A = this chain, B = another copy of it.
Protein backbone atom coordinates (compact mmCIF):
# COMPACT_ATOMS: atom_id res chain seq x y z
CA UNK A 1 0.00 0.00 0.00
CA UNK A 2 1.34 3.41 -0.96
CA UNK A 3 2.02 5.98 1.73
CA UNK A 4 -1.08 8.06 0.97
CA UNK A 5 -3.46 5.19 0.22
CA UNK A 6 -4.57 5.36 3.81
CA UNK A 7 -6.05 8.76 2.98
CA UNK A 8 -8.26 7.42 0.23
CA UNK A 9 -11.95 7.73 0.98
CA UNK A 10 -12.83 4.11 0.35
CA UNK A 11 -10.03 2.80 2.52
CA UNK A 12 -11.34 4.54 5.58
CA UNK A 13 -13.75 2.84 7.91
CA UNK A 14 -15.48 6.04 8.79
CA UNK A 15 -16.54 7.31 5.40
CA UNK A 16 -18.50 4.24 4.27
CA UNK A 17 -20.19 4.20 7.68
CA UNK A 18 -21.02 7.89 7.48
CA UNK A 19 -22.26 7.76 3.89
CA UNK A 20 -24.32 4.61 4.32
CA UNK A 21 -25.82 5.80 7.58
CA UNK A 22 -27.08 8.97 5.90
CA UNK A 23 -28.36 7.00 2.96
CA UNK A 24 -30.37 4.63 5.13
CA UNK A 25 -31.86 7.53 7.08
CA UNK A 26 -32.94 8.97 3.74
CA UNK A 27 -34.65 5.68 2.93
CA UNK A 28 -36.63 5.99 6.14
CA UNK A 29 -37.75 9.52 5.35
CA UNK A 30 -40.66 8.85 2.95
CA UNK A 31 -41.93 6.07 5.22
CA UNK A 32 -41.77 8.27 8.32
CA UNK A 33 -43.16 11.37 6.63
CA UNK A 34 -46.62 9.81 6.74
CA UNK A 35 -46.48 9.89 10.52
CA UNK A 36 -44.77 13.29 10.67
CA UNK A 37 -41.76 11.72 12.33
CA UNK A 38 -38.10 12.49 11.73
CA UNK A 39 -35.57 9.68 12.10
CA UNK A 40 -34.48 11.00 15.49
CA UNK A 41 -38.07 11.14 16.68
CA UNK A 42 -38.57 7.62 15.34
CA UNK A 43 -35.69 6.07 17.30
CA UNK A 44 -36.91 7.80 20.46
CA UNK A 45 -40.32 6.21 19.86
CA UNK A 46 -38.62 2.83 19.30
CA UNK A 47 -37.13 3.06 22.77
CA UNK A 48 -40.46 3.99 24.32
CA UNK A 49 -42.17 1.07 22.62
CA UNK A 50 -39.63 -1.18 24.31
CA UNK A 51 -39.58 0.56 27.67
CA UNK A 52 -42.96 2.21 28.19
CA UNK A 53 -41.36 4.71 30.59
CA UNK A 54 -37.81 6.06 30.77
CA UNK A 55 -35.79 9.05 31.96
CA UNK A 56 -34.17 11.53 29.57
CA UNK A 57 -30.79 10.38 30.82
CA UNK A 58 -31.41 6.69 30.14
CA UNK A 59 -32.91 7.56 26.78
CA UNK A 60 -29.69 9.38 25.96
CA UNK A 61 -27.58 6.44 27.05
CA UNK A 62 -29.52 4.06 24.83
CA UNK A 63 -29.31 6.31 21.79
CA UNK A 64 -25.82 7.70 22.49
CA UNK A 65 -27.27 11.20 22.33
CA UNK A 66 -26.94 13.93 24.95
CA UNK A 67 -29.64 16.08 26.49
CA UNK A 68 -28.82 18.89 24.08
CA UNK A 69 -30.14 16.72 21.29
CA UNK A 70 -32.85 14.84 23.11
CA UNK A 71 -34.56 17.59 25.09
CA UNK A 72 -35.82 19.59 22.11
CA UNK A 73 -36.84 16.48 20.17
CA UNK A 74 -38.80 15.11 23.11
CA UNK A 75 -40.44 18.50 23.45
CA UNK A 76 -41.72 18.16 19.89
CA UNK A 77 -43.01 14.63 20.47
CA UNK A 78 -44.89 15.94 23.49
CA UNK A 79 -46.36 18.72 21.39
CA UNK A 80 -47.42 16.12 18.81
CA UNK A 81 -49.23 14.25 21.55
CA UNK A 82 -47.14 11.07 21.32
CA UNK A 83 -45.28 11.41 24.63
CA UNK A 84 -45.88 12.81 28.10
CA UNK A 85 -43.26 14.25 30.44
CA UNK A 86 -43.35 14.22 34.22
CA UNK A 87 -40.82 14.55 37.02
CA UNK A 88 -39.71 11.54 39.00
CA UNK A 89 -41.10 12.07 42.50
CA UNK A 90 -38.18 10.47 44.35
CA UNK A 91 -35.66 12.74 42.57
CA UNK A 92 -37.04 15.89 41.08
CA UNK A 93 -34.00 16.39 38.86
CA UNK A 94 -35.07 13.45 36.74
CA UNK A 95 -37.57 13.96 33.94
CA UNK A 96 -39.42 10.84 32.86
CA UNK A 97 -41.07 10.26 29.51
CA UNK A 98 -43.90 7.87 28.72
CA UNK A 99 -46.21 7.05 25.85
CA UNK A 100 -49.62 8.64 25.49
CA UNK A 101 -52.50 6.56 24.13
CA UNK A 102 -51.86 8.05 20.71
CA UNK A 103 -48.20 7.12 21.07
CA UNK A 104 -49.15 3.53 21.80
CA UNK A 105 -51.57 3.37 18.91
CA UNK A 106 -49.18 4.27 16.11
CA UNK A 107 -46.88 1.40 17.06
CA UNK A 108 -49.27 -0.88 15.18
CA UNK A 109 -48.73 1.02 11.95
CA UNK A 110 -45.05 1.76 12.39
CA UNK A 111 -44.24 -1.92 12.78
CA UNK A 112 -44.56 -2.18 9.01
CA UNK A 113 -41.82 0.34 8.36
CA UNK A 114 -38.76 -1.86 8.92
CA UNK A 115 -40.15 -4.53 6.60
CA UNK A 116 -40.84 -1.99 3.88
CA UNK A 117 -37.41 -0.55 4.41
CA UNK A 118 -35.63 -3.82 3.85
CA UNK A 119 -37.40 -4.16 0.53
CA UNK A 120 -36.37 -0.61 -0.47
CA UNK A 121 -32.90 -1.49 0.60
CA UNK A 122 -32.18 -4.01 -2.12
CA UNK A 123 -30.81 -1.22 -4.30
CA UNK A 124 -28.18 -0.36 -1.75
CA UNK A 125 -26.98 -3.88 -1.28
CA UNK A 126 -23.69 -2.88 -2.90
CA UNK A 127 -23.08 -0.18 -0.33
CA UNK A 128 -23.74 -2.76 2.37
CA UNK A 129 -21.23 -5.17 0.82
CA UNK A 130 -18.67 -2.40 0.48
CA UNK A 131 -19.14 -1.54 4.13
CA UNK A 132 -18.89 -5.19 5.12
CA UNK A 133 -15.62 -5.52 3.23
CA UNK A 134 -14.14 -2.52 5.02
CA UNK A 135 -15.40 -3.77 8.35
CA UNK A 136 -13.88 -7.19 7.77
CA UNK A 137 -10.60 -5.54 6.82
CA UNK A 138 -10.52 -3.45 9.99
CA UNK A 139 -11.56 -6.32 12.23
CA UNK A 140 -8.91 -8.54 10.67
CA UNK A 141 -6.28 -5.94 11.51
CA UNK A 142 -7.41 -5.91 15.12
CA UNK A 143 -7.23 -9.70 15.23
CA UNK A 144 -3.66 -9.64 13.94
CA UNK A 145 -2.54 -7.28 16.68
CA UNK A 146 -4.12 -9.22 19.52
Contacts and interface: CB of A to CB of B under 8 A. Distances in A.
Interface of A: 3-4, 6-9, 12-15, 17-25, 28, 39, 43, 46-47, 49-50, 62-64, 107, 110-111, 114-115, 117-118, 121-122, 125, 128-129, 131-132, 135-136, 138-139, 141-142
B28 A21 contact: no
Contacts of A3: 111
A46 B114 contact: no
Complex A-B, nearest 10 residue pairs according to Cβ-Cβ distance, in ascending order: A21-B21, A17-B21, A14-B24, A6-B114, A18-B21, A19-B64, A132-B135, A9-B46, A7-B49, A7-B46
Contacts of A23: 64
